[in-house]
Amino acid sequence: MLELEPPRHSRLRGLVLRAFTGRKVAAMAPEISATCHRLIDAFPDHPFDFLDTFARPLPVHVIATLLGVPTDRCDDLLRWSNAMVAMYQSGRSYETELAANQATVDFTAFLDSYITYRRAHPREDLLSDLIAAEEAGEKLTGEELISTCILLLNAGHEATVHTLGNAIKTLLPLTFRDVTPALVEEVLRYDPPLHIFTRHAYKDIDCFGLEIKKGQEVACVLAAANRDPAFAENPNRFDPTRKLSQHQSFGSGLHFCVGAPLARLEISIGLQILFDRCPNLQISEAPRYADTYHFHGLTQLMVR
C-alpha cells in the first residue's frame, strides 16, 4: 500500500480503512491502559532503558491485539519488523539485505499458516475482516492480504516506539504533566519519528520557484516542514500551548497515515498513565539519537 499508486492503492487502503474504524480504535483504550499499567508494574527499581521496558512493548502489543495476531509472538514481530525496516537505511550492507529477506520469508510463513487457521476460526478483529474481504471476491488477493498485515504490524509500532521515546526525553526535564490533545500534537510536531518520505513528480512543476521535472524523485522532509518559522512561531521551542493548525508528522495526501488516530490514542494514554504513576521518573543518562535517517529516535533512554 505504502508504495502503490491508485487505483490499486485506493482499493487496498479503502479495505483497511473499512476495517480500521474510529469505533474499533476507540475501543482499544481499555487494552492500552491495562498494558501501560502492566508494564509500569514491572519497572525495576534501578535505572532501566525506557525504550525496551515501555516504548517498544506497548505499541507492538496494541497492534497485534487490534489485528488479532497472538501477542505471545510479539518478540518475533519486533525482530522481523526491525530487520525489514533496516532496508530503509542509506549505505545498508549485504548482510542487512539478507536479514531483511529472511525476516520477510519467516514473517510470511507465520502469517500464511496463521491466516489458514483464522479462516476456519474467525473472530471480532481486523484480520478476520480482511480475510472476509478476501473471500468476498476480487478485492484482496492472498498475497495482498499478507503484505497488508505485515505493513500494519510494522507501521503500527515502529514510529510510535520512537515518538514515545522522543516525547519522554523532551518532557521529563520540563514541567508539563497534563497530557492534553495539544501536547500530543506538539510532541509529534517537535520531534517526529519519521523525517523523510519521497514522491515522484507526475509532470513538470514549479514549486515556489524550484523547477521539478516529470519523474524526478523529491524528498519531503517532514521534520523541516514542522519547524518552518512561517508556519510555527519559535519553531525550536517545545510549547504545548501553541495553537497548531496542522503538522506533517503523519504525512499528507493519498498516503496520509492510516494509524494516526491509534497512534494519538496510544501516546496520550501512555504518557498520562506514566506521569500519574511515576511522578519521579527522571532521565539517568544523557540520551543519544541513533545515527539513522529512516527512524529519528534514540538508541536507548536510561531512566530511573
41's grid cell: 508494574
Alpha carbons 283 and 159: distance in angstroms, whole number: 21
Place of cell 525496516: 85
Task: Give me the sign of the Cα torsion angle 300, 62, 270, 229.
Answer: positive
Q: Is 261 in the site for ligand HEM (CB under 6 A)?
A: no
Listed ranges 69-77, 133-141, 256-264, 268-276: which one lies at the site for ligand HEM (CB under 6 A): 256-264
Instruction: Indicate which single residue of 146, 159, 184, 269 sits in contact with ligand HEM (rule: CB under 6 A).
Output: 159
Q: Is 257 in the site for ligand HEM (CB under 6 A)?
A: yes
Count of Cβ atoms closer than 10 Å to residue 208 Cβ? 4
Q: Is 262 in the site for ligand HEM (CB under 6 A)?
A: yes
Q: Is 263 in the site for ligand HEM (CB under 6 A)?
A: yes
Instruction: Indicate which single residue of 68, 240, 259, 287 sits in contact with ligand HEM (rule: CB under 6 A).
Output: 259
Alpha carbons 163 and 146: distance in angstroms, whole number: 26
Q: Of the candidates 191, 205, 180, 292, which has an alpha carbon nearest to the alpha carbon of residue 237?
A: 191
Alpha carbons 105 and 93: distance in angstroms, whole number: 19
Q: Is 55 in the site for ligand HEM (CB under 6 A)?
A: no
Q: Is 250 in the site for ligand HEM (CB under 6 A)?
A: yes
Q: Is 1 in the site for ligand HEM (CB under 6 A)?
A: yes
CA 220 to chain centre: 18
Q: Is 13 in the site for ligand HEM (CB under 6 A)?
A: yes
Q: Cβ 4 to ligand HEM, closest distance in Å?
A: 7
Residue facing ligand HEM at closest CB distance: 259
DSSP string covering 77-137: HHHHHHHHHGGGSTT--HHHHHHHHHHHHHHHHHHHHHHHHHHHS--SSHHHHHHHHHHTS
Q: Which of residues 138-157 bind ligand HEM (CB under 6 A)?
A: 151-152, 155-156
Q: Cβ 94 to ligand HEM, closest distance in Å?
A: 27
Interface ranges with ligand HEM (CB under 6 A): 1-2, 13, 63, 151-152, 155-156, 159-160, 163, 192-194, 197, 249-251, 255, 257-259, 262-263
